[in-house]
Structure 1
Amino acid sequence: MSDPKDSGGAATAVAARAKALTGRSPLRWPHYCLIAAGLLVLLSLVRLVDGADDVTSSGTVSAALRLAVPIFLAGLGGLWSERSGVINIGLEGMMILGTWTGAWAGYQWGPWVGVLAGIAGGALGGLLHAVATVSFGVDHIVSGVAINILGLGLTQFLAGLIFNTGHAKSLGGGPRQSPPVEPIKTLTLPVLSGGKIGGWDSPDWLGSLERHHWFLVSDVAGILRGLTSGMSLLTLVALLLVPASFLVLWRTAFGLRVRSCGEDPYAAESLGVHVYRMKYAAVTISGAFSGLAGAFLVTVAAPLYQDGQTGGRGFIGLAAMIFGNWRPGGLAAGSLLFGYTDAMNVRGGGESVHALLLFVTVILIAVAAWQLRRGGRMRPLVSTDLERRAVRNAFVGATLAVAAAAGLFAWFLASDAVPGELVSFTPHLTTLLVLALASQRLRMPAANGLRYRRGEGG
């Protein structure tokens, strides 16, 4: 009989070799906190070097949060759907339904009723997607495209039919917009971020620290003030959905059943899970989250419905979900990244984006160093063609990162601002770069997009 100690040693050696070859080790919350702190220090240095104070200003942080929330909510809808095994590219159409129903109810009965109506409108879109994909076996991509087309066409028709006639028109409605909706109230922490308590003007300690533009201290103050000044109540609700979704999907029996349907529905069926019911529930919840994103746009971001208001945020939410590796925390981080680049476009313009050239240069140099270190650790251990290819890819990736860093640094030195056309394209460029860089570590649910029929499993 073999010695258990020898078996344990062999297993340890195999694990060590796998870690050396992949260059990966599990990251936990302390690691993420250290990474975030390092990025903040780097951002503060870039701000001092380039004098771009809007990079970490409270206004930029507040705008980034406001722009990130609808992207995050749409991505959260995609997360629920795809964890159950149903691809949902109809998030944009469900968001559009949420904007129209939210505005229709909001201008008549108040913003919170509009939020509930927006959730219901998006849920109806999700239910329709579930009927098509789960019950009738329609291709998920085809059904999602149909939902997008239906959402756009239906809301345009209803806007002209309802908002352009009678009482709605007298209140400011038209064929492409609704009457104004009362915005949801905002919160500001007194003493820390200013505001008023009765007739008393509260101090603004964080704002005072931010205005000094000190290294790191003013940056932290600006970020905290952006998170504690003028925050909508609906934004706070959306932020709470991050831990709520994690707890439901990863800590409850219902969430386990939903995820099992996305990994292996036939195995779940054999254990007594009602797969159709779980898929219907998850896709309907997906639509509800997308509808909430649409309601956010008409009650927080802008006080009315307008044609084309979603602006492709449903698709960016889908990209954020993929970037987050189908998990709520990563999805939130990706949404904040996209919201931040959009906020830099809105507030800082070419000067602030110019400062980010230096920031990305340093990041690329760090990526190149990590790839070189990874390739150096892997080289003595390779024994197969696949492993040799992995080593070669690591060195090629390092070379490309260095070349890109050199080009960006030369651009930074040769210019004072980024052209306006490129500034407008920054959020979309960020989406493409993030997905390209994150593609190697992604793993979607195993049965995502596959047609399921009860009793057909082997």
Structure 2
Amino acid sequence: MSSTTVSKPSAAPKGGGSRKLTWPWILLIVAAGLVLFSLVRAVSGANDLTSVGQVSGALQLAVPIGLAGLGGLWAERAGVVNIGLEGMMILGTWFGAWAGYQWGPWVGVLFGLLGGALGGLLHAIITVTFNVNHIVSGVAINILAVGFTQYLSNFTFAEAEGGSSKQSPRIDPITDITIPGLSDWLMDLQQKHWFLISDIAGILGGLVTNLSLLTVVAILLIPATWWVLWRTAFGLRLRSCGENPVAAESLGVNVYKYKYIAVTVSGALAGLGGAFLAIVATGIYQEGQTGGRGYIGLAAMIFGNWMPGGMALGAGLFGFTDSLKLRGGAENVHALLLLVALLLVIAALWQMYRKKWVVAAIGAIFAVGFFLWYVLTDEVPSQFVDAAPYITTLLVLALSAQRLRMPKADGLPYRKGQGK
């Protein structure tokens, strides 16, 4: 009975939601982006921009950010703001490494999930049951996770062979997948540096070369989340708790239960991202290795407008920028100046088409500025290279702010029976 009554609100977003992109438009935007990247690579000579190694590295850096963003999406779709993603990732790195070096990497993955889930459960107790401000609770969990893992390291890793109070012993790797023949062929094609063809080969090659099994699991979690939250009665009830919990309760939904489930799953996903960092990305736990990726994951979720696909694009963008910093450094980031200039020209032309002359003029001025910066310099300062991922985060959030629509009851306090 409850599933038939709750299914009615699915028609509600008809009028107020953001305009959805159709598949032809999405494919057209992706194709235009590839052409633009290929053009920048050909003009700048930064051939590593779309190389197999670059794409493979970007994917590895994007996975923990994407898992944190996916965790934030689960919590906020149920109406709970999860600033504590960073702390839950820290718990995932520690528990994943602690179990991983003793009993193997897959056991470490399981414990990383459990560690993050414990952080999520604590956040749910504080915010849902005791109605504490969500931001305050999240910040407290971040601080608590740092202190808790430092304390545990002192009598676990410090006494283990090959470990110390700030890092764990080496963890056995998870199996990597490389498709023989196809991987080599795509790499050879990419190294020819042909316009567009080599760029496509580099991107595809990065997806079939040294791909960890845990990376495959993380990628599959994105469509799985979409299906659960948007194609099942369970997901509809969970999202109704983030849109209008009072109305959901009136239709028989146990709002507290769904909030608890969502925030616990949120913590587990962030913990999985932390375990990925410790087991796959580095093969070792190190104090402070999350490096703010929980916050960047939250930014990726907001950039994606609280949708799994958009969140994945945001995580990919931040991972790619971070990878540019590690591979080729100043040369690759210098080539991005030309890319930014071209994107600003396109944005200015679009604003002119919409007859927003002031915004178009500002975009054109900045485009000229970035183009002159690119032409008049050979490299960018090292400090700018290091800050590139964080600058990208700020720019993306600033440019996408106007089209965002968060769940209506996200972060709002809720008490059972408050609608009576």
The interval holding the TM-score normalised by the smaller chain is: over 0.9
Residues 1:177 and 2:171 are matched in the alignment: no
Where does the alignment leave 5 or more consecutive residues of structure 1 unmatched?
1-17, 19-23, 194-203, 376-393
The whole-number CA distance in structure 2 between the counterparts of 1:360 and 1:260 is: 39
Residues 1:59 and 2:39 are matched in the alignment: no
1:49-88 equivalence runs, <5 A: 49-88=43-82
**Equivalent residue for 1:449?**
411
Residues 1:426 and 2:388 are matched in the alignment: yes
What do residues 352-395 of structure 1 show as CA deviations (whole Å, max 9, x unaligned)? 111111111111111111111112xxxxxxxxxxxxxxxxxx33
Residues 1:116 and 2:110 are matched in the alignment: yes
Larger radius of gyration: 1
TM-score (norm 2): 0.95
The whole-number CA distance in structure 2 between the counterparts of 1:413 and 1:298 is: 41
The whole-number CA distance in structure 2 between the counterparts of 1:307 and 1:338 is: 22
Residues 1:258 and 2:238 are matched in the alignment: yes
- Aligned AA for 2:38? S
**Equivalent residue for 2:136?**
142
**Equivalent residue for 2:38?**
44
Residues 1:127 and 2:133 are matched in the alignment: no
Shift of residue 25, structure 1, vs aligned partner = 5.6
The whole-number CA distance in structure 2 between the counterparts of 1:76 and 1:83 is: 11
The whole-number CA distance in structure 2 between the counterparts of 1:57 and 1:217 is: 12
3-state SS of the aligned residue for 2:288? Answer: coil
- Aligned AA for 1:69? V
Match of 2:192 among 197, 212, 231: 212
Residues 1:239 and 2:219 are matched in the alignment: yes
- Aligned AA for 1:107? Y
**Equivalent residue for 1:249?**
229
1:86-97 equivalence runs, <5 A: 86-97=80-91
- Aligned AA for 2:289? Q
**Equivalent residue for 2:9?**
none
Shift of residue 415, structure 1, vs aligned partner = 0.8
Identity %: 64
Match of 2:398 among 432, 436, 442: 436
The whole-number CA distance in structure 2 between the counterparts of 1:33 and 1:396 is: 30
Residues 1:33 and 2:16 are matched in the alignment: no
TM-score (norm 1): 0.87
- Aligned AA for 2:393? T
Shift of residue 302, structure 1, vs aligned partner = 0.6
What do residues 236-281 of structure 1 show as CA deviations (whole Å, max 9, x unaligned)? 0000011000000000011001100000000000000000000000
The whole-number CA distance in structure 2 between the counterparts of 1:184 and 1:279 is: 33
Shift of residue 26, structure 1, vs aligned partner = 3.8
**Equivalent residue for 2:370?**
408
The whole-number CA distance in structure 1 between the counterparts of 2:342 and 2:419 is: 51
The whole-number CA distance in structure 2 between the counterparts of 1:316 and 1:42 is: 25
Shift of residue 449, structure 1, vs aligned partner = 0.5
CA RMSD of aligned residues (A): 1.2
The whole-number CA distance in structure 2 between the counterparts of 1:457 and 1:433 is: 40
**Equivalent residue for 2:100?**
106
1:262-341 equivalence runs, <5 A: 262-341=242-321
The whole-number CA distance in structure 2 between the counterparts of 1:232 and 1:446 is: 38
- Aligned AA for 1:105? A
Where does the alignment leave 5 or more consecutive residues of structure 2 unmatched?
1-14
